[in-house]
Amino acid sequence: MGGYLSPSHANVPEGSLDFSSEEITNLIRRALAEDVGRGDLTTRVTMDQAIKAKGTFNSKQRLVVAGLPLARRVFESLDPSLEWQGGVQDGSEVAAGTPLASICGVAGSLLTGERVALNFLQQLSGTATFTRQLKEILAGTRAEILDTRKTAPGLRSLQKYAVRMGGGTNHRLRLDDGILMKGNHLRLAGGIPAAVGRALRDRPSGFRVEVEVTSRAELIEAIQAGADGVLLDNMSPSEVRECVELVAGRVRVEVSGGISAANIRAYAEAGADYISVGALTHSAPAADINFRIDPIS
């Protein structure tokens, strides 16, 4: 779950997330309270509570699925008697019109949980889909796609899970997860040599030191100071290529800033080892998924 900067989550299986955790339980509880309030008024005044139904999630576009276990937990939190009928697995790429999963039981419970389950599933599948699209653009290069900490507050573990489902790699999960010195750190610490020197001296065992640089001169300072990796910020592909040639394999090179589907291939071909894309978690469009509920006779 952690990033490539540190070993702190090295024993967590690829893609795993504990959907039964207290963190997820509390998140679902808050999401349902936000949406349901004192009760589903429309369902209560229009629906015979004895009606049984089957609800099915369907893709309306080509997408990569992420969040089905979370959707299941939403419904089970509302009504433990509901029966989940699993379909595809998270991480699967499906065509438009594919049934993803179904759930059967009291129609009112399906109606009440519909929006919250869809909100989670559409957002996470959108992130996974966008990640996979960028990964496909990089086919044949050595570059890996990284996410960032630009996540919706309270949803980071889920959004980073979705990135993994799309084939991306997580950067830091939290601030205790790695050492990455950016502009503000460097100014406050007295510059690159001073900041890197102190970090190398005081870092916990096993942690690497990465430094954000914005110029060739700063890159040279970082290398000479002993940094393990550099983040080339807001450079053009041609500038990145020059920096990669200067580095000559001595440190790992990450690039960030203004990365899009239109230019990510150019950065990879310039020699970057890692390309971090904040848009994976802050701007990926929600996937088009619907939830059709039909009565069971």
Q: DSSP letter at 284?
A: P
Given 115, 156, 203, 216, the catalytic residue: 115
Backbone conformation region of residue 227, classed left if phi is above 0, alpha if psi is from -120 to 50, else beta: beta
Q: 79, 32 in Cβ contact below 8 A?
A: no
Task: Confirm whether 54 is a catalytic residue.
Answer: no
Separation CA 33–CA 172 (nearest Å): 30
Task: Confirm whether 150 is a catalytic residue.
Answer: yes
Backbone conformation region of residue 15, classed left if phi is above 0, alpha if psi is from -120 to 50, else beta: left
Given 44, 52, 182, 250, the catalytic residue: 182
| C-alpha pair distances (Å), 295 with each of 44, 54, 106, 110 | 17, 6, 10, 11
Task: Confirm whether 212 is a catalytic residue.
Answer: yes
Given 210, 212, 218, 228, the catalytic residue: 212
Given 54, 62, 149, 150, the catalytic residue: 150
Q: Degrees (nearest 5) of the Cα angle 77, 93, 27?
A: 25
Q: 211, 178 in Cβ contact below 8 A?
A: no
Given 114, 233, 254, 273, the catalytic residue: 233
So which residues are the catalytic ones?
Answer: 115, 150, 182, 212, 233
